[in-house]
Structure formats: structure tokens, C-alpha cells
Amino acid sequence: MSTGTELWLFAVSFGASALGGMLGMASGIFIVPVLTMWGHVDIRIAIGASVVSVIACSCGSAAPFLKGRLTNVRLAILLETATTAGALSGVLLAGTIPASYLFFIFGMILLLSAQQMLAKRRDPALAPIQSPTGRLTTWRVDSSYPDRTLGRDIAYRVERLPLGMVLMYVAGLISALLGIGSGVLKVPAMDTALRLPIKVSSATSNFMICVTAAASAGAYFVRGDIVAPVAGPVALGSVVGAILGARLLMSISNERVRLLFVVVLVALAVQMLVAAFGRGLFRGIA
Amino acid sequence: MKPIRIEPLLAGVLNVGTCLASIVIAAGLMLSLSHQRTPFPTGAQIVSAGIGLFILLPILRVILMLIFFAKERDYKFAAAAAVVLVILFAGFAIGILAK
């Protein structure tokens, strides 16, 4: 591994995380496409490197949300039983799935992220409070969070927990397969199934990501899929980039960044899908 | 009575852990970039150790939550934390078996 390669890996991860951080989104979704498409790194090594950077970013950014009482730690540990179980299934599946399928699934997830970036999230806290439809659970996960703009605590109730658990299992599985944090799947699960306030679902999803990723990272690490000269610069670049990105968040027009983000996501998605078909996905069917 | 909160403790542990692991990785990278031949540990081995620290950090977080819920006699959530912990260790076991 030459000096140039390590610096390139660091710079790319730094850039991806700074961009992600500006929108409050993890960089994991960029790392694998960029490493495989532009750096010609093997997809399994790219996934191993990405999963470490996902842990690093999630751990490194959790503190402000915890201190601001936005993270629901009880709900997080409960949902983590599902996300980590999903991650273990993903690890077991990963060995049997050909690389072309991984490229294909990744392309689809990128498109889903682009679509989500375009659609604005509605904050349920501002919507009229609906009467709870689901049965009350025996799990004490309902809580409240301090809203700075309203200047008071807002109580919220967690709805449809079983559906949330199923969606979290799927999110964990995809997370392990692709080496991403899969906030792209967790956040809609929390918004639509559990009906959490937007700030609570972002903070709690971010908090859960490191434990979900650790379930697959442990297996990949002892198996030797995490290659230090690749994963090291990527992890370091993402932590530094994420911190800087979060600072820049305040000073740059959010709409312009959002559009740039969507363009990059779609471009990477097309490249990943082309690579999937180029590697013989569905050959014999077409 | 104000309930005891675990959030400040978790925030502190995650912050310190991230800094520590990042410093170890940075030190390893600088050693390998400087091309100085060190018999042990090599730059790549130090980087691996830093990566290992990052993987252990979430596990430590779950252990702290398990202890907290058990002390609070919140046994349901302590059980949930225990399940997560077992699954995390199962991940390592799968990796070793698949080697």
C-alpha cells in the first residue's frame, strides 16, 4: 500500500463525510460506491472498511443528542435486539451472495436515499395529535424531549412496536450486507411505523447504528475482511469529515447541498447498477 | 425525586472512546507513512488495534446499559441489553467459525 493510496482513501472519506455531515446523514452510503467504482477496491474489502467508518461516525456524533435528551435509550436497546439479529443474518447471507447482487441491492438503496432526500420529512410533533390506534405495549418506551423552538418538553408515544421491530430487522440485515448504517431504512421505519418526532427518530437511529454495525464488524474483523491499510484511513477520514460537516451545516444553504447530494446519489446508483449488470446479474434471464 | 440518567455517562464514554481509537489509528498511519521499519508493532498492526477499539466501543456501551438497567431494577430492559450483548458476541463467534 503506497503513501498516495492512503492519502487518497483519507481524502475521499473526509469529503464524503463532510458532505454527509452537512445534511446530518452518515457517509457510509458513499464509501462503498466510491471505493469500488473509483478506487477499484474489492467490494467485500470496501464493505469491511465502510462498516468501521459507520461505527466511528455513529459513536463520535452521539454525545450532543444524548446530552440534549433527544435519544430514547430504552427504545434504542429494545430495537437493537432486532437490528443486531438482522445484522447476524446479513453476515451469514453475505458469504453466499455473488458480488453482482451486492452491487444491485446497493444501487437500489442509493436510489431510495435519493428519493428520501427529495421528499421533505413532516414533523409529527407539529401535526395534530392522533388518537393512538395500536394497543399499549407493556414496554415503558414512551418519553418526552425538550423542544428548543417551542421552549417546552413534548411528550410522545411509541406506536406499532412489533411492526417497527420487523422493519429494524430488515434494516440490520441490509446494514451488514452492504456495510452501511442504513439510517435510510431506520428513519422511515421510525417516522411511519413508530410515529416518533423527527428529532427523536434521527437521534435514536444514529445512536443505534454503531451497535448494529458492531454486530457485523466483529465477524468481518476476526474473519480478516477488514484490511487495516484501507479501513484505517477511511475511518479516520470519516470521523474528521463528519465533525467538520456538522459545523458547516450552519453556514451553507441547505437546499443547494441537498440537490448536490441527490445528484451524487443518483450518479453512484447508475454506476452501481451498470456494474451489477456488467458482472452478469440476471444473465440467462435477459 | 429526580431519576438518575445514564445519558451523560454514555455521551462521555463514546466521546473519549472515539478520540482514543482515532488517535491510535492516526499514530499507526503516520508510522506506516514514515516508512520506518519497526519490528513490532508495525504501523498496520497499530491501525488494526485502533479499528479493534472502535468495534469494542459499542459493546462497552451495551454493557454499561445492561449494568444501569439492572441497578434500576428495570429487568425487562436489562434483558434486552443482555440479548443484544449475546448477539454481538455471536457475531465474533461466526467470524471465527467462518475463518
DSSP state string for chain B? -PPP-SHHHHHHHHHHHHHHHHHHHHHHHHHHHTT---SSS-HHHHHHHHHHHHHHHHHHHHHHHHHHHHHTT-HHHHHHHHHHHHHHHHHHHHHHHT-
| Averaged pLDDT for residues B23-52 | 85
Mean pLDDT computed over every residue of chain A:
81
| ipTM reported for the complex, 2 dp | 0.91
B-interface mutation test, from A77, A204, A223, most B Cβ less than 10 A away: A77
What pLDDT, on the 0 to 100 scale, is given for residue B23? 95
**Would you say residue B2 lies in a domain?**
no
**Would you say residue B37 lies in a domain?**
yes
Q: Where are the domains of chain A?
A: 3-122+136-278
For chain B, positions 61-80, list CB contacts with chain A under 8 A.
Answer: 61-62, 65, 69, 74, 76-77, 80
**Beta carbons of B51 and A239 less than 8 angstroms apart:** no
CA dist list (Å): B70 to A76, A84, B11, B64, B82: 16, 21, 20, 10, 10
Instruction: Provide the domain count of chain B.
Output: 1
- Return the percentage of chain A with pLDDT > 70, whole number: 84
**Would you say residue B54 lies in a domain?**
yes
CB atoms A95 and B98 under 8 Å: yes
Model confidence at B52, pLDDT cuts 50, 70, 90, reads very high
Which domain does B66 fall in, by range? 7-97
**Would you say residue B1 lies in a domain?**
no
pLDDT single digits (tens) A10-30: 888 888 777 766 665 666 788
**Would you say residue B42 lies in a domain?**
yes
**Would you say residue B27 lies in a domain?**
yes
